[in-house]
Chains A and B, each alone.
Chain A
Amino acid sequence: MTTTSIAGHTVDVNDEGFFVDPNQWTEDMVPALARAEGIDDLSEQHWQVIRFMRSQYQEKGTGPTVRVLGKTSGVTVKELYTLFPKGPAKVAAKIAGIPKPRGCI
């Protein structure tokens, strides 16, 4: 675990860069978190996915996998990859300040 500074806030992240405590996340960190993942322009669809990840995490205790995102977020898997080319579930979880989705077991 390391401590890092995002948009002026101090937060704890794990070795892979995921938030350790999702409560440390605030919406104003999103542009900086997205830039770190190579996303400079956040569209309304990016925000839709990020907010969906947050609400799913709050409801279920884990973020959805890509397949579940494609079925439930209103954005198709193909579009998700256009929005988050490096892997939608992982990258969106990182930007949304929630742990890595534990779909792969």
Chain B
Amino acid sequence: MKRIVVLGCGTGGTLVANRLRQRFDRHAARITVVDQDDVHVYQPGLLFVPFGLALAEDIVRPRRRQLHAGIDVAISAIDRVDVDGNVVHLSNGESLDYDVLVVATGAVLVPEETEGLLGTGWLQNVFTFYNLEGAQALGDRLAQFEGGRLVVNVVDMPIKCPVAPLEFCFLADWYFRERGIRDQVDITYATPLDGAFTKPAASHALAGLLEEKGIELVTEFNAGEYDEAARTITSYDGRVVPFDVAVVIPLHGGAPYVGRSEHLGDELNFVPTDNRTLQSQVRPNIFVIGDAANVPASKAGSVTHFEGETVVDNIERFLDGADLDASYDGHANCFIETGFHKALLIDFNYDTEPLPGHFPGPLGVPLMKESRLNHLGKLMFQWFYWHVLLPGRDVPGLGSAMPHAGKKQGART
């Protein structure tokens, strides 16, 4: 019997464990999933918490309950992986031997790497909505906010869901309009990128939306220091952005145990991974899914979802001694909330920029264009996440590879 150990029971770990259980007979493989707690947060929901559009209890469920029968669970932090001994050492003193290891421990926030960020203003006038505690505290602060400077700052890439900070700006504009105080609030988006977004075509469309909504865009801003008493952010090149409330997306890194495991991670604790096969470049029996990998795709749930099929196929091929399938194409698909019950959708992969048209085919929902239908899509996605994506069910007509039908090739926006 083969032993497969999955580290992490978030989006990637859950869907891979469930798909592996469907693929392998219980006599063929024992599957064990490790996580440090039993709290699964629906991360796309965090964006809505500060605006009172979602409650914490709406977006949290137990991790174990998302797993199919016949999957073992170990609740413990991970101390380190011995990649030569094929064994995982847990912080509770136990160890797990493996034939195949799946790293699915995602990305963590490292606010301590930015000078002054965890100062006296943290959770007072400086917040992040990238975890539950921060999103709730920010919600309380925004409810009391009567006017002033709201700055949304991405410290540096890579971050989870690169569109979320922009969505936060759009929703903040809507929120303050609804409260009738939008004219009392300056909203600024300060990003290290040279435009609103990482992909040029989408960046252009999103910069237009920022301008339309009166949100100031500050580009190539590499935050070097937070001074929370003076309420300023200073970039490494000496520019100063003042704020009354700052919403910061801190630096990200891989899970700390990756750094403690010799040869497993890179400088930022992400695992070097083949872009197409999702096999690690560390050892052939280690595979990686989701934010934990260093692949040049967005760190987003949709990427993790589309990677699942390739990871499971390749684990089976590896155990059979067959050649791996290099089929993951970098497909990402993001609904971008723009406020006022509307959203737009972008769809792209390693080689194709986001294009206008319709998804997943000519009769689908509009791409790169605001619509109410896309907003409904974003809301319905939460149901889809718990009931289709995590259980590892296939959806007819929606494969992992990026669809070309319905897209206007060569179109410019």
Contact = CB atoms under 8 A, between A and B. Distances in A.
Nearest to B296: A105
B192 A105 contact: no
Contacts of A102: 296
B198 interface: yes
A104 interface: yes
24 contacts: A64-B267, A65-B156, A65-B157, A66-B156, A66-B222, A66-B236, A67-B268, A68-B268, A72-B267, A77-B224, A78-B224, A78-B236, A81-B236, A85-B237, A87-B222, A102-B296, A103-B157, A103-B158, A104-B157, A104-B192, A104-B193, A104-B198, A105-B158, A105-B198
B187 interface: no
B158 A77 contact: no
Contacts of A68: 267-268
A87 B220 contact: yes
B298 interface: yes
Nearest to A86: B237
Interface string B135-158: 000000000000000000000111
User: For chain A, which range describes its interface: under 10, 10 to 19, 20 to 34, or 35 or more residues?
Assistant: 10 to 19
Contacts of B198: 104-105
Interface in A80-96: 80-81, 85-87
B274 to A, nearest CB: 13
Nearest to B272: A60
Nearest to A105: B296
Nearest to A62: B296
Nearest to A87: B220
Contacts of A9: none
B267 A71 contact: yes
B268 A81 contact: no
Residue of A64, A81, A104 most packed against chain B (CB within 10 A): A104
Nearest to B236: A81
A53 B297 CA distance: 23
B402 to A, nearest CB: 16
Contacts of A77: 224, 236
Contacts of B156: 65-67
